[in-house]
Amino acid sequence: MQYLLSETAVRIAWLAMIFLLVATAAFVVSSLIERRVKLRQRLGAAGPHAGLPAFEGSSLRADATGSAWTRMVAAIEHRGISLADTKGHILRKKLIAAGYTAPEAPQLFTFIRLLLTISLPAAFVTINMFARAPVTLFRLDMFGSILALIGLYLPNFWVTRRAERRQRQLVNAFPDALDLMLVCVEAGLGLEAAFDRVGQEMSLAHPVLSELLGNLVLELRAGRSREEAMHRMADLAGIDEIRSFATLIIQSDKLGSSIGQTLRIYATEMRVKRRMRAEEKAHRLPVLLSIPLVACMLPVMIGVLMLPAGIRVVRQVMPSMAHHGS
């Protein structure tokens, strides 16, 4: 019995528990990845275009999900609860930059904010009512207000971070897409066919950019003009590089200049910008590393260096001073 309660047994039990948790998590993640790979393989074998099934599946899923969200938002607004935001235009642009392009996205965003703002404090109050030692009224108000603020600003934080991550993925993938477009154009394909081919080829490596090019191709095939379709693609992306690319393609199309030469020059410029961003991040590392160095390592090093001198002062100097003073 004493052995079971010893420190070694407890440590072994903790290590075994951690090992089981890590093994279970690894098994679940590997199962999900294997299932996703098999699904992609089945979709790829269903048709001749290997890159398109991922688009078609995601589009069908988005349509089904979007119809359910549309019905829910319509039912809420039909009951007299307005979900329109006062800054609807700004919110719409922010959601488009994050990848939420559905028409009901602003109303759904407002509904989620209201739901979190009300449900988080309500859940805290409900849990506190059934607790053995409920908190005081002041703490209840304080924690409820904090949870309400979290529910109010958490969707904004999520959308902002998602937009930044999506824009970073587009910026990093765009030079590779330009190189592929250049190869397709110089091989004899038209610009629309080049967009279609590049979107298919990049569906696995860069799915965000592939989806953007897929939407562009669908709009061109639906009869939209190239200028309007390029401007819409730039608005969906929300980054300056793609806006400049759209303007460059439109001007080249109007002036009759070489698309291949335009793509070559702009691809070189984009690669230079990407290398400069990488160098900028590398130069920032020493400054960022100095903060934990000063805050964590420097006090420890000073303590290690000064501790022997302090011990010697306490052991030798202080007794001698006390002896001379007496």
Q: What is the pLDDT along the chain (326 residues), one digit of tens a residue?
A: 444 344 555 556 656 667 667 667 776 666 677 677 666 666 655 444 444 333 333 443 444 445 666 777 777 777 766 666 666 778 888 887 787 877 777 888 888 888 888 888 888 888 877 777 767 777 778 888 888 888 888 888 888 898 888 888 888 888 888 888 888 888 888 888 888 898 888 888 888 888 888 888 888 888 888 888 888 888 888 788 888 888 888 888 888 778 888 888 888 888 888 888 888 888 888 888 888 888 888 888 888 888 888 888 778 777 777 666 65
User: In the Cβ-directed half-sphere of 95, how many Cα atoms lie within 13 Å?
Assistant: 19
Per the CB < 8 A criterion, the answer to whether 220 and 226 are in contact is: yes
Structure tokens at 269: 């410029």
Structure tokens at 295: 């805050």
List of residues 6+ apart from 76 with CB closer than 8 A: 83, 107, 111
Q: How far apart are CA 313 and CA 319, in angstroms?
A: 9
Q: How far is CA 199 from CA 55, 78, 130, 216, 305, in A?
A: 10, 40, 55, 10, 61
Other C-beta atoms within 10 Å of 134: how many? 13
Q: How far apart are CA 299 and CA 114, in angstroms?
A: 46
Q: How far is CA 326 from CA 313, 318, 320, 322, in A?
A: 19, 12, 10, 6
Q: Global pTM?
A: 0.60
Per the CB < 8 A criterion, the answer to whether 217 and 246 are in contact is: no
Closest to 194 (Cα-Cα) out of 183, 208, 205: 183
Closest to 115 (Cα-Cα) out of 161, 150, 87: 150
What one-letter code names the amino acid at 314?
V
